[in-house]
Homo-oligomer: A and B are copies of this chain.
Amino acid sequence: MPELRKDPFVPNRWVVFSPERKQRPVEYTVVTQNNHREIFDAFSWGKEKLTPHEVFAFRPKDSPSDSPGWLVRVVPNKYPALRIEGDLQAEGIGMFDRMNGIGAHEVIIENPDPTVELADQTVEGISLVLKAYRERILDLQQDIRFRYILIFKNKGRMAGATIIHPHSQLIALPIVPREVKEKIEQAKRHFEMKERSLFADVLHEELSAGKRIVLENSFFAAFCPWASRFPFESWIMPKFSSLDFSSLDDNQIMLLSDILQNLLKRLKKGLENPDYNLVLQTAPLRSSRREYMTAVEVDYRWHIEILPRISFLAGFELGSEFFINPVYPEEAADFLRQIRKI
Partner of A319 from B152, B322, B331 at Cβ < 8 Å: B152
Q: Which residue on B lies nearest to A7, using beta carbons?
A: B227
Asked whether, in the complex, the Cβ of A11 is within 8 Å of the Cβ of B227, the reply is no
Asked whether, in the complex, the Cβ of B315 is within 8 Å of the Cβ of A277, the reply is yes
Copies in the complex: 2
Measured between beta carbons, the chain B residues less than 8 angstroms from A313 are: 160, 313
Q: Which residue on B lies nearest to A320, using beta carbons?
A: B177
| Cα distance A312–B18 in the bound complex, in angstroms | 16
Measured between beta carbons, the chain B residues less than 8 angstroms from A173 are: 320, 322
Asked whether, in the complex, the Cβ of A326 is within 8 Å of the Cβ of B19, the reply is yes
Measured between beta carbons, the chain B residues less than 8 angstroms from A326 are: 17-22
A226 at the interface (CB under 8 A from B): yes
Q: Which residue on B lies nearest to A229, using beta carbons?
A: B15
Measured between beta carbons, the chain B residues less than 8 angstroms from A319 are: 150, 152, 177, 179, 277, 279-281, 305
Q: Which residue on B lies nearest to A228, using beta carbons?
A: B15
Asked whether, in the complex, the Cβ of A94 is within 8 Å of the Cβ of B152, the reply is no
Asked whether, in the complex, the Cβ of B227 is within 8 Å of the Cβ of A6, the reply is yes
Measured between beta carbons, the chain B residues less than 8 angstroms from A22 are: 326-327
Measured between beta carbons, the chain B residues less than 8 angstroms from A335 are: none
Given A21-B324, A198-B9, are A316 and B227 also a contact pair (CB < 8 Å)? no
Can you spell out 5 A-B residue pairs with CB atoms less than 8 angstroms apart?
A7-B227, A22-B326, A157-B312, A159-B312, A171-B316
Known pairs A5-B227, A277-B318, A277-B319; list 6 more (Cβ under 8 Å). A6-B227, A8-B202, A17-B325, A94-B205, A177-B319, A307-B315
| Among all A-B residue pairs, the 4 with the closest Cβ atoms | A160-B314, A152-B315, A279-B319, A177-B320
